């Protein structure tokens, strides 16, 4: 498999999926059996397997992680006139899904140590219109869900957890998505497991799960064909995508083990360099989805990234704050100082499961030279200017 041979790779990418398990044979099985649309045994097996990973009774596949969020909010009857509290520092889909229901996103700040929604930033933003909190578990870590659930219960709010980046993580032994009313997942090509494009919602409540399943399929009754009980959407996943997803889930433990080893290697090799790694709370078992760092404040990030690219190392800036986007610039919000700081200083390093130790050394060497050219040396070394 030449794409997995590092010597033939021109640029070390930030991400590429590892499809070396049963993916191909399961897809061929779909083609041979002609079950390529949204009915088929792989859909059921994928959903059951995902529910067991998360530890919830219901997992429902959908076509991507953005519609998973929209379906979740819609099925909690969130719409025009409502407000949903969301971190500004997140991938834009978390915010777009709120706006797509007609509700208004209200931006909360993040914590500097773990980059997650700050639970203490929530309460001051609550108004009579607030209906839900949408915590986002970023970069493989997990938000302070016990604190967030406490605020939610006190103010009678729904909680939709965006778990797109944290499959396989846990907090106090509980998988994210199992704390709130609904958890949503994405299986895009750069996520922990992929189905190409794909997503899922998980829920504990039986009635809510039935509604999610009905609404994702045009609102059609689950027992009576062509009888549509309410407004619905076509958010279905294909059996082909689920076949890839099932093969990926079979190897989840292996993928997670490799990702944790990669993160440990980066932390060890960069321990004397003044960059800040994401620091999850002690009860969190992070999956290190993308190993990401905050560069020193005085650093020119664009120049670091350009110089690393010249060495054949792709990196990626972390997300901009959603409040910086033109369509969300005039919304109510708290103080977003820390979200802005993480956005400005953050950078993701190559983190895909088949990244080799040799390639990790290359990434680290390239980062260290780029930092040295800006006068940033290892701790304990003299600055060369
Ligand atoms: C990837 C991602 C999504 C959206 O998933 P898609 O499958 O690309 O629609 C939502 N939220 C977060 C935090 C993500 O990283």
Going from the Cα of 333 to the center of ligand 1, the distance in angstroms, rounded, reads 22
What is the distance in A from the centroid of ligand 1 to the CA of 164?
5
Across the chain, what does the average pLDDT equal? 95
Atom number in ligand 1 closest to CA 186:
7
Ligand 1: centre distance to CA 86 (Å): 14
Atom of ligand 1 nearest to the CA of 69: 10
Q: Which of 87, 93, 287, 318 to mutate to test the pocket of ligand 1 (most atoms within 8 A of CB)?
A: 93
Contact 159, 176 (CB under 8 A): no
Q: What share of the chain has pLDDT > 90, as a percent?
A: 93
C-alpha 368/C-alpha 239 separation (Å) is: 45
> Mutation test of ligand 1: which of 71, 72, 91 has the most ligand atoms closer than 8 Å to its C-beta?
91
Residue 7: pLDDT above 70?
no
pLDDT of 2 reads: 43
Q: Whose CA is nearest to atom 7 of ligand 1?
A: 65
Residue 265 burial (10 A CB sphere; 0-12, 13-18, 19+): middle
Whether 3 shows a pLDDT value over 80: the answer reads no
83: phi then psi, degrees, rounded to nearest 5: -120, 140
Tokens of 271: 């321990």
How much of the chain exceeds pLDDT 70, in percent?
A: 96
Q: Give strand pairing partners of 277.
A: 293
Distance from the alpha carbon of residue 190 to the mean position of ligand 1, in angstroms: 10
**For a pocket test of ligand 1, which of 94, 136, 182, 319 has the largest count of ligand atoms closer than 8 A to its C-beta?**
94
**Cα 213 to ligand 1 centroid, rounded to whole Å:** 20
Nearest to 138 by CA among 157, 120, 111: 111
- Per-position DSSP letters for 212-247, written without gaps between them: HHHHHBTTB-SSSTT-B-S---B-PPPHHHHHHHHH
User: For ligand 1, atom 5, which residue shows the shortest CA distance?
Assistant: 65
DSSP secondary structure letters along 100-146: HTT-EEEEE-B-TTT-SB-GGGTGGG--TTEEEE--B-GGG----HH
DSSP 182: E
Instruction: Give, using CA atoms, the residue closest to atom 10 of ligand 1.
Output: 93
Minimum-distance ligand 1 atom for the alpha carbon of 197: 7
pLDDT in tens, 212-267: 999 999 999 999 999 999 999 999 999 999 999 999 999 999 999 999 999 999 99
Which of ligand 1's atoms lies nearest the C-alpha of 66? 9
- C-alpha to C-alpha distance for 91 and 76, rounded to whole angstroms: 22
With the most atoms of ligand 1 within 8 angstroms of its CB, the residue from 164, 167, 199, 245 to mutate is 164
CA of 135 to the centre of ligand 1 (A): 13
**84 contacts 131 by C-beta, under 8 angstroms:** yes
Q: How far is the CA of 71 from the centre of ligand 1 (A)?
A: 14
Ligand 1 is surrounded, with C-beta below 6 A, by: 64-66, 90-91, 93-94, 136, 162, 164-165, 186, 188, 199
Q: Is residue 326 scored above 70 in pLDDT?
A: yes
Q: Which atom of ligand 1 is nearest to the CA of 90?
A: 13
Q: Ligand 1 center to residue 368 CA distance, Å?
A: 31
CATH 3.90.1150.10 intervals, the chain: 252-372
pLDDT for the residue 252: 97
Query: Does the pLDDT at position 55 exceed 70?
Result: yes
Which atom of ligand 1 has the smallest separation from the CA of 136?
13
Read off the pLDDT of each residue in 100-122 and give the average, rounded to a whole number. 97
Q: How does pLDDT run across 131-176, given as a tens digit for each residue?
A: 999 999 999 999 999 999 999 999 999 999 999 999 999 999 999 9
Cite the DSSP H helix spans in the chain: 23-33, 41-54, 65-75, 92-100, 145-154, 206-216, 239-250, 252-269, 301-310, 337-345, 357-372
40 CA → ligand 1 middle, Å: 25
Task: Kindly report the backbone phi and psi dihedral angles of residue 326, in degrees, each rounded to the nearest multiple of 5, phi listed first.
Answer: -55, -40
> What angle do the packed helices 239-250 and 23-33 form, to 10 degrees?
150
Which of left, alpha, beta for 168 (phi over 0: left; psi -120 to 50: alpha)?
Answer: left
- 93 alpha carbon – ligand 1 mean position (Å): 6
CA–centroid distance, 65 to ligand 1, in Å, is: 5
Nearest to 319 by CA among 69, 83, 71, 94: 94
Distances (CA, A) of 106 to 130, 176, 294: 9, 22, 25
Q: What is the mean pLDDT of residues 98-123?
A: 97
Query: Looking at domain 23-250, which of 3.40.50.620, 3.40.50.2300, 3.40.640.10, 3.30.460.10 is its CATH number?
Result: 3.40.640.10
Q: Which residues of the chain form CATH 3.40.640.10?
A: 23-250
User: pTM of this prediction?
Assistant: 0.96
The whole-angstrom separation of Cα 196 and Cα 217 is: 20
CATH for the stretch 252-372 = 3.90.1150.10
């Amino acid at each position: 498999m030449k794409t997995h041979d590092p010597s033939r790779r021109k640029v070390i990418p930030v991400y590429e999926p590892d499809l070396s398990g049963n993916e191909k044979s399961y897809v061929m099985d779909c083609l041979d059996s002609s079950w390529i649309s949204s009915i088929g045994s792989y859909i059921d097996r994928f959903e059951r397997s995902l529910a067991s990973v998360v530890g919830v009774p219901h997992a429902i596949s959908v076509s991507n992680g953005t519609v998973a969020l929209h379906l979740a909010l819609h099925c909690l009857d969130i719409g025009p006139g409502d407000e949903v509290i969301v971190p500004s520092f997140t991938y834009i889909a978390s915010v777009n899904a709120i706006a797509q229901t007609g509700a208004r996103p209200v931006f909360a700040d993040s914590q500097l140590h773990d980059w997650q929604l700050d639970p203490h930033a929530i309460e001051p933003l609550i108004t009579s219109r607030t209906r839900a909190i949408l915590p986002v578990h970023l970069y493989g870590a997990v938000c302070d869900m016990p604190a967030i659930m406490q605020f939610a219960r006190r103010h009678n709010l729904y909680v939709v957890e965006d778990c797109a980046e944290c499959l396989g993580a846990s907090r106090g032994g509980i998988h994210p998505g199992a704390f709130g009313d609904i958890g949503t997942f994405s299986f895009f090509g750069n996520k922990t497991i992929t189905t190409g494009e794909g997503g899922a919602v998980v829920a504990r409540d039986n009635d809510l799960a039935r509604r999610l399943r009905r609404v994702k399929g045009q609102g059609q009754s689950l027992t009576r064909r062509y009888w549509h009980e309410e407004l619905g959407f076509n958010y279905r996943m294909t059996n082909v995508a689920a076949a890839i997803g099932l093969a990926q889930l079979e190897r989840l433990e292996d993928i997670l083990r490799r990702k944790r080893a990669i993160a440990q290697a980066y932390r060890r090799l960069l321990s004397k360099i003044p960059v800040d790694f994401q620091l999850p709370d002690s009860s969190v078992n992070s999956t290190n989805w993308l190993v990401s760092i905050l560069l020193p404040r005085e650093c020119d990030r664009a120049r670091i990234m350009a110089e690393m690219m010249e060495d054949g190392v792709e990196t990626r800036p972390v997300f901009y704050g959603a409040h910086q986007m033109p369509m969300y610039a005039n919304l109510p919000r708290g103080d977003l100082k820390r979200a802005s700081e993480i956005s400005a200083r953050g950078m993701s390093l190559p983190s895909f499961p088949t990244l080799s130790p040799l390639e990790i050394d290359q990434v680290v060497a390239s980062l260290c030279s780029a930092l040295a050219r800006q006068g940033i040396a290892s701790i304990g070394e003299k600055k060369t200017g």
